[in-house]
Amino acid sequence: MTREQIVIDTSGPPSVPARKVADPRPSLLLGEHSLCPGCGEPVALRLLLEVLQELDIVQRTIGVVGHGCYGSFVRIMDVDVLQCLHGRAPSCATGIKRVRPECAVFTMQGDGDMANEGLQEVLHAAARGEKITCVMLNNGVFGDTGGQLTATTVLGQRTKTSLAGRDAEAHGYPIPVADLVAGLQGSAYVARGAVSTAGGVAQTKRMLRRAFETQLSGAGFSLVEILTMCPTGWFVPAGEGPGYLGGSLEQSYPLGELVT
Amino acid sequence: MTRELLEGSAAIAAAAITAGCRFFAGYPMSPFTGLLESMSRELPAAGGVCVNAESEIEGVNMVLGAAAAGARAATGSCGQGIALMQETIAEAALNQTPFVVFNMARNQQDYFQCTRGGGWGDYRTITLAPKDVTEAVAHTQLSFHLAELYRAPVILYGDPLIAQTRVSVTVAPQDHGPLPERDWVLDGTGGGTGRSRQVWTWAMGKATDPGPGPDRHWRAVADKFDAIAATEARFEQAHVEDAETVVVAFGTAALFVEYVVEQLRAEGHRIGWFRPVTLWPFPGDALAAATTGARRVLVFELNAGQMLDDVRIHAADRSAVRFIGGVSIAESGLAYGDLMDAPAIRDRILAALTGGASA
Ligand code: SF4
């Protein structure tokens, strides 16, 4: 066994490791979120804020936030925000965008917010081709109120109001919001991502970026549906959230770009 | 400013645009529809936006968004349509977003709806009830001013006689005085600075600046409505000083009452009339003063007796209060019925003067 002599060159600075270290926190976050461990929504928030920053539109962005666990993001998103009533965000965003066309206007809503209470609002905003970006955080339950059935709960999924699992006969079929919106002429960009895997996170961020680029180009309405983990509302251990998402929501709601 | 022959709806639209309204959204419902049509015709030329919303709920929320972004904005409907908007009117009262709601009502059965609201929270809605198109034009401009002055939704309560009557009017700009700085408006430029703004009913502030929080915020909003109640009540009256009988009415019905009371005065009756111009704040102190010494306080309104409650609360002697109005609407639902008629009102007043009064 030969032993190489190791020579350490101290004449210059040490080499930079070829590894990118992510910022511990995007600068648009003002504080700590208070959501459950294992929740997917803070990941989605982070991606959204990073995209605003990377597109350099922070100084002309207005957000509209609905009601759900993510509602508390109003306090930690360092962008101008209107918190509106459950379901109404696309209409409020329409009013904002029409009087401030130079602004980038987005909504952040859950599935209960957008698909239950506000399905009409998002469909009409899309049909009108409003130049706004709607983000739907889809975890298939009302997380904020403790895990009840929503319009997107998948067949067989157990919730507090479908203890034996969603049954089409009793509860009807789940609504694929992105697919509905994709069918409307005013939609210029529609995609569905998930934040349950590293690849999914990277892909979702690209989708958000393209959605905002679409808005800024004036092409029409854009929507990104993001599948997120709600271990609390699903009654699974925090660590099992991503796997549960892959086996349930993702099976009913295929990921990918629907309108580009 | 030239004098023009305009339908009430068109006159109100012109007044709104003159007052700086640049965003309007609404859903057709007669007799409000004419106002929506006028706005869709006139607003774009004035540099504004009019959206034919897909529902009343969407319309009023578009208006909430536009107003939060700093535009003078308005919507409207009547009765059932206003009912759908109440959730958002309440929200706007509590998150302090100013806009105007034109209630071109079918009748006077929207009194509770306008003055008591149907939403949640310790809020009130400033409600102006013009008696004719000319006053509606003035009230329209005043409504935008009051909305912005107090950062609150304001309802203008009209009716078919105002929406659909063609009259000769002049729409001139009005100066109602200075307004507070609009430092709350969302313009998108607060981001990334640590000082981004928010419009939020709970007023809990950003993490870096906690804000007043819900308790203090809602108390402040309630105090604001108390202050409005103390300063913004408006009314008109005549012959109340020596009146044995005071007849109370609002809106266009008050015009008919005024005509009949003036007739009866000329015939020697000691009778006067009182008209609340603002339905909220209700001019209660003025009514108390006007009815001191009156043996009869007659309430004429075209519903089952809604303002009657406010009159009973404030009249100098509540046992003197009698209701002489009633539900009265044409079968079409789009116009007043038989009771909106000077001889019919005269009969009811005379019956009360001679002892009898309807329940
Ligand atoms: S309840 Fe669900 S959605 Fe809400 S914070 Fe907890 S994990 Fe997230």
A2 occurs within a structural domain: no
Chain B neighbors of A100, CB-CB under 8 A: 69-70, 187-188
A220 occurs within a structural domain: yes
Residue A248 touches chain B, beta carbons under 8 Å? no
Q: Buried b vs exposed e over B110-140: b needs ≥16 C-beta within 10 Å?
A: bbebbbebebeeebbbbbbbbbbbbbbbbbb
What's the Cα-to-Cα distance from A231 to each of A111, A150, A152, A247, B207, rounded to whole Å? 16, 16, 16, 13, 26
A5 occurs within a structural domain: no
Q: How many CA atoms lie within 13 A of B290 on its CB side?
A: 26
Q: How many structural domains comprise chain A?
A: 1
**Closest chain B residue to A106, measured at CA:** B188
- How many angstroms separate the alpha carbon of residue B74 from the centre of ligand 1? 37
A139 occurs within a structural domain: yes
Q: Which of B39, B49, B51, B61 to mutate to test the interface with A (most CBs of A within 10 A)?
A: B61
pLDDT digits (tens, 9 = 90+) for B109-136: 999 999 998 899 999 999 999 999 999 9
A30 occurs within a structural domain: no
Please give the residue that has the higher pLDDT: either A18 or B303: B303
A123 occurs within a structural domain: yes
The beta-carbon neighbor of A124 closest among B49, B58, B65 is B58
Shortest CA distance to B21 belongs to which of B75, B72, B76? Answer: B72
pLDDT digits (tens, 9 = 90+) for B143-189: 999 999 999 999 999 999 999 999 999 999 999 999 999 999 999 99
A28 occurs within a structural domain: no
Q: Report pLDDT for B355.
A: 72
| DSSP code, position A91 | H
Coil vs helix vs strand at B259: helix
A116 occurs within a structural domain: yes
- d(CA B277, CA B297) in angstroms, rounded, equals 18
State residue B120 phi and psi, 5-degree precision: -105, 145
**Closest chain A residue to B72, measured at CA:** A99
- How many angstroms separate the alpha carbon of residue A69 from the centre of ligand 1? 6
- d(CA A260, CA B55) in angstroms, rounded, equals 29
Per the CB < 8 A criterion, the answer to whether A33 and A72 are in contact is: yes
Full domain range(s) for residue A74: 41-259
What's the Cα-to-Cα distance from B269 to each of A234, B105, B186, B242, rounded to whole Å? 76, 33, 58, 10
**CATH label of the domain that carries residue A233:** 3.40.50.970
Q: Report pLDDT for A55.
A: 97
- d(CA B34, CA B242) in angstroms, rounded, equals 43
Q: Buried b vs exposed e over B281-305: b needs ≥16 C-beta within 10 Å?
A: bbbbebbebbbeebebbbbbbbbeb
Tell the residue nearest (CA) to atom 6 of ligand 1.
A36
Beta strands in B91-191 (DSSP E): 100-104, 126-128, 154-158, 166-170
The beta-carbon neighbor of B64 closest among A28, A79, A84 is A84
pTM: 0.94
**Closest chain B residue to A31, measured at CA:** B207
Coil vs helix vs strand at A83: strand
B206, A30: Cβ pair inside 8 Å?
yes
pLDDT in tens, chain A (260 residues): 566 777 778 888 777 766 666 667 778 999 899 999 999 999 999 999 999 999 999 999 999 999 999 999 999 999 999 999 999 999 999 999 999 999 999 999 999 999 999 999 999 999 999 999 999 999 999 999 999 999 999 999 999 999 999 999 999 999 999 999 999 999 999 999 999 999 999 999 999 999 999 999 999 999 999 999 999 999 999 999 999 999 999 999 999 999 99
Identify residue A92 by its one-letter amino acid code: C
